[in-house]
Amino acid sequence: MNQFNQIVWELDLDPNVIFLSGSLPDGSTYYFDNSSITKLNAAGNVEWQRNAQQYFPASDYFNFLGMLVRQDGSIILATGNGNFASGQSKLHFININPVNGDPIWIKKIATPIVYYTYLFGPMVEMPDSGILACFGPIWGTNGINDHVLIVRTDPNGNTLTNQIAGKIYWDENYDCLPDVSEKGLKQVSVIAQSGTKKYSASSDIDGNFSMATTGGDYTLSIAQPGSYWNYCSFPNPVTLDAFNDTVLLNIGARATVICPELFVSIGSPVFRRCFDNNYLNVHYQNYGTAAAINAYVSVTLDPKLIYLSATAPLLSQNGQTYQFDIGTVDIGESGFFAINFKVDCDATLGEILCVDSHIYPDTICIPTAGTRVANPFCLPVVASYDPNDKTAFVDGKPETAKILPDVGLEYLIRFQNTGNDTAFNIVIADTLSQRLDPTSVVPGASSHPYYFELRDGNALRFVFNNILLPDSTTNEPASHGFVKFYIRQAPGNPIGATLSNTAAIFFDYNLPVITNESKLVISSAVRTKEPMAILEVKTWPVPAHDRVELLLPDGASAIQSWKLIDMRGQVLRSGGSESSSFFILRNGLSSGVYWCQLLLENGKVALGRVVFD
């Protein structure tokens, strides 16, 4: 309606619409239901629509509670979302870009978890650009203890005003007092817990850490991968006022024995047959209390992995075993190097190939200390693959089914920039299952330098600042990346329980790319099962001119879907179900080699090589 009460446009909305905004200064309108937000332009046409799962992929339900247009033109949404299984709801503010609906930031409100919020009061922008909002009534446990919540945030949606901060340092003179000359220790995680509330932070390269919290009494614990350190006593628990209180702690780490403790991790995003641009990245770090002198890494390659070069000096070669010089690795020091290799063209698609890495000196100075001086790594040979995924590894091999209780595991998270421009910053967020022990996390090998954070007690963040990852159309081989980490199970996991979660990959300011769900069932008996080889599809003629015929081997299951993929891994065409034999028309495709990947109804994959003259 215009100011004269005349109809400008009409739209029959979905009956599930629960919230409709009035016309904004630019004539646009927003409407919401329990699953999406839609923006209409001044003419009533849809400009964009965002599914709520894009903002909160781990939530089962979602309800929009309110909306505010900020002075800068961006939109603030107040939302409630949660999971049916837990019955828990969380309150959030989302600041979104009105042009395309992308989130600028998403912030959880610092209040105890509630069960449902079904009404919302006014929301206004304050003179400092902070937000004042009223939620309620909020339904409490078992329908009792209903209450109203008034929230005041800063301009970025933060409601936490308290802070626990300080420095983790190496107490060389054993006096538990920080000296200017005593160095900080990086990647030490500090966890603060008060009842069900849990916060955490990880020390930076200088040993500094900082975490925002609510008020209350917090018990602190420290998670450090090294076995040869203990910590000076510090106030524990710590008490913070309700608002605007800061506790500063200097926590000294003292050596229980003087000994290096080396860690090695090796990984790769893919083993591509016949390609000579495959690479392995080797990450190492000294978590010990003494420098490691004359350190080196030994890497043994599968016979079908052909060594080409490395960025570290090669000390020696004995068959497929290569030794690389890394010199002296000081206390807390880390580094990495790359190995360039080619996958033999005779390797079978789907065949598992393995590498083994071992770092020296590998002395263990305390018998009870754990050891991470060796790290195996295995991947199947592929022609193309899903570029954004998460895979669990047990003893270096991909595992998708079962795991023994109390056995540690590794995760590999792979990503690719499939956009149309360079990705400047990438963040991987991984909220761990409660059946995994976040204090045991050891960040591992990666494709690019990153820094690691532990947040909220069980939320991992791998931050790749200034990664400058090219898009796949500009430089396909360089558009890929990965990161690995090791973790132990939480103690006491029962047989039959499931370890499952996903990771979210943020490319600059875009909505996150959500990986597949990695799921392992804890079992008392695990049978090792090697992945089956990919079926081979016959193609004729070779080379083809106008069309090529694809024929599955006898006895193969029916075709569910297919993709035609170029040598950069880009999907050019795709289709649905077909018979065991079908044709692909050239229709303008350039001369060269392509791959046709078929998904069969029994879950198997078949692959055929297509050549056009």
- For residue 300, what pLDDT is reported? 96
Task: Decide which of 558 and 177 is more confident.
Answer: 177
For 87-113, write each residue's pLDDT tens digit: 556 788 899 888 888 888 888 876 554
List phi, psi (to 5°) of 524: -80, -15
- For residue 43, what pLDDT is reported? 85
- Check: CB of residue 487 under 8 Å from CB of residue 437: yes
Q: Which of 6-15, 45-54, 352-361, 390-399 has the lowest mean pLDDT?
A: 6-15
Residue 412 pLDDT exceeds 80: yes
- For residue 34, what pLDDT is reported? 64
Residue 136 pLDDT exceeds 90: no
Task: Decide which of 385 and 252 is more confident.
Answer: 252
**Token pair listed for 237:** 């628990």
Q: Which of 64-78, 325-339, 479-493 has the lowest mean pLDDT?
A: 64-78
Task: Decide which of 570 and 279 is more confident.
Answer: 279
Residue 175 pLDDT exceeds 80: yes
Residue 291 pLDDT exceeds 90: yes
- For residue 383, what pLDDT is reported? 67
Which residue pairs from 126-133 have beta carbons closer than 8 angstroms and sit at least 24 positions apart in sequence? 126/152, 128/154, 128/155, 129/70, 129/71, 129/155, 130/154, 130/155, 131/68, 131/76, 131/93, 131/157, 133/66, 133/78, 133/93
Residue 19 pLDDT exceeds 80: no
Q: What is the pTM of this model?
A: 0.68
- For residue 529, what pLDDT is reported? 45
82: CB partners within 8 A, 6+ apart: 59, 60, 61, 88, 89, 90, 116
For 52-78, write each residue's pLDDT tens digit: 777 776 666 677 778 888 888 888 988
Q: Give the pLDDT band of residue 18 (cuts 50, 70, 90).
A: low
- For residue 406, what pLDDT is reported? 85
Per-residue pLDDT, averaged over 388-398, amounts to 91
Residue 138 pLDDT exceeds 50: yes
Residue burial 224-258, b: 16+ Cβ < 10 Å; e: rest: bbbbbbeebeeeeebebeeeeeebebbbbbbbeee
Residue 557 pLDDT exceeds 90: no
**Token pair listed for 28:** 């646009």
Compute the distance between CA of residue 306 and CA of residue 609 in angstroms, rounded to an integer: 23
Q: Of how many residues is the chain composed?
A: 613
Residue 613 pLDDT exceeds 50: yes
Residue 531 pLDDT exceeds 50: no
Compute the distance between CA of residue 570 and CA of residue 105 in angstroms, rounded to an integer: 31
- For residue 155, what pLDDT is reported? 87
Residue 400 pLDDT exceeds 90: no
- For residue 612, what pLDDT is reported? 87
Residue 422 pLDDT exceeds 80: yes
- For residue 528, what pLDDT is reported? 47
Mean pLDDT of the chain: 84
Neighbours of 532 (CB within 10 A): 11
Q: Give the pLDDT band of residue 313 (cuts 50, 70, 90).
A: very high
- For residue 376, what pLDDT is reported? 95
- Check: CB of residue 329 under 8 Å from CB of residue 260: yes
User: Which 3 state secondary structure label does DSSP give 464?
Assistant: strand
- For residue 484, what pLDDT is reported? 96
Q: Give the pLDDT band of residue 393 (cuts 50, 70, 90).
A: very high
Residue 33 pLDDT exceeds 90: no
State whether the Cα torsion 469-474-478-484 is positive or negative: positive
Residue 386 pLDDT exceeds 60: no
Per-residue pLDDT, averaged over 457-476, amounts to 90
Percent of the chain with pLDDT over 70: 87
- Check: CB of residue 329 under 8 Å from CB of residue 262: yes
Whole-number Cα distances in Å, 303 to 108, 155, 342, 377, 529: 51, 58, 11, 14, 22
Query: What is the maximum alpha-carbon separation in the chain?
Result: 88
- For residue 538, what pLDDT is reported? 86
Judged by phi (left if over 0) then psi (alpha if -120 to 50, else beta), residue 486 lies in: beta
- For residue 306, what pLDDT is reported? 96
List phi, psi (to 5°) of 509: -100, 15
Percent of the chain with pLDDT over 90: 34
531: CB partners within 8 A, 6+ apart: 350, 352, 380, 398
- For residue 110, what pLDDT is reported? 65
Among candidate residues 168, 250, 158, 167, the one with its CA nearest the CA of residue 213: 158
Q: List, in order of start, the domains of the chain with CATH numbers.
A: 19-152 (2.40.10.480), 162-255 (2.60.40.10), 401-528 (2.60.40.740), 535-612 (2.60.40.1930)
- For residue 570, what pLDDT is reported? 63
Q: Which of 109-118, 317-326, 481-490, 514-523 has the lowest mean pLDDT?
A: 109-118
- For residue 532, what pLDDT is reported? 47
Residue 568 pLDDT exceeds 70: no
Compute the distance between CA of residue 58 and CA of residue 78 in angstroms, rounded to an integer: 18
Peptide bond before 543: cis, by omega within 30 degrees of 0? yes
User: 381 has which bridge partners?
Assistant: 271
